[in-house]
Structure 1
Amino acid sequence: MAEHNEKGKQAEEWAKDWLIGKGYEFLDANYRYKHAEIDLIFKFKGLLIFVEVKYRSGTGFGYAEEFVDYTKRKLIVKAADQYIHEKDWHHDIRFDIVGVYKDKNGNVNFRQFEDAFY
């Protein structure tokens, strides 16, 4: 596996643990539908939350939310529609982006963008 893929998977684990620590109920990871993938899926306060995780080793090239373009958002929504259908979900949903940032000292920080798109 390429190094950037390994970092991405590690960032997803960190984000998952961080969100669980905030009271989110973990449901699924790496849900795939055709060419689309949702990194993490949670329940929180009656919402079904689809989370895109983005790892950045710094902010010199921009923040995480800047790297989820229109095409990526469209694919995530398509996969979410399928997940909602499969689970027969009839309540509200939300799409979040969680940026995982590692500073020069190796500390990991998080930045959550709730209701980032739809």
Structure 2
Amino acid sequence: MPTPRAQRGAAVEAAAQAYLRAEGLQPISANVRYRGGELDLVMRDGDTTVFVEVRYRASAGFGGGAASVDLRKRRKLVLAAQLFLSSDPALAARPCRFDVIDAWGEPPQLHWLRDESGGVDC
């Protein structure tokens, strides 16, 4: 049985995916796990493949969830994205970007931060 934290994470990721779908993005995959990292959501925004990191905090204090996507986490996301793209040549030929959904509170408030790659390419 999933822990309460895992249940909360799944609910926030589902809310994030629903929000992004309402904004016109199409889901490709979710919760893709590799040895070096995990991709919370993989979406399509037009021709662009979007790797979405969903970060939840109980409150927006201390910088919120987006502040926790540090250089180490970005490296893991890039590695996971490269592995994902290597398995699908059609997607690998398209542009890609990294977005963050910063979520906090109950019910979760969502803030979409587009192109948060910090200059790192897919």
1:5 corresponds to which residue?
A: 6
Aligned match of 1:99 in 98, 102, 109? 102
Q: Distance in 2 between matches of 1:65 and 1:55?
A: 9
Q: Any stretches of 5+ residues in structure 2 without a counterpart?
A: none
The percentage of aligned residue pairs carrying the same residue is 28
Q: Offset at 1:60?
A: 1.9
1:80 corresponds to which residue?
A: 81
Q: Offset at 1:3?
A: 2.3
Q: Distance in 2 between matches of 1:45 and 1:60?
A: 34
Q: Any stretches of 5+ residues in structure 1 without a counterpart?
A: none
Normalised TM-score (structure 2)? 0.87
Q: How many residues are treated as equivalent by the alignment?
A: 115
Q: Offset at 1:13?
A: 0.5
Counterpart code for 1:110: L
Normalised TM-score (structure 1)? 0.90
RMSD (CA atoms): 1.2
Deviations 1:43-87 (A, max 9, x none): 012100000001122112222210111111101100100111111
**Is the 2:28–2:42 contact (alpha carbons within 8 Å) kept by the matching residues of 1?**
yes
- Runs of 4+ with >4 A deviation: none
Q: Secondary structure at the match of 2:116?
A: coil
Q: Offset at 1:101?
A: 1.9
Q: Distance in 2 between matches of 1:9 and 1:108?
A: 12
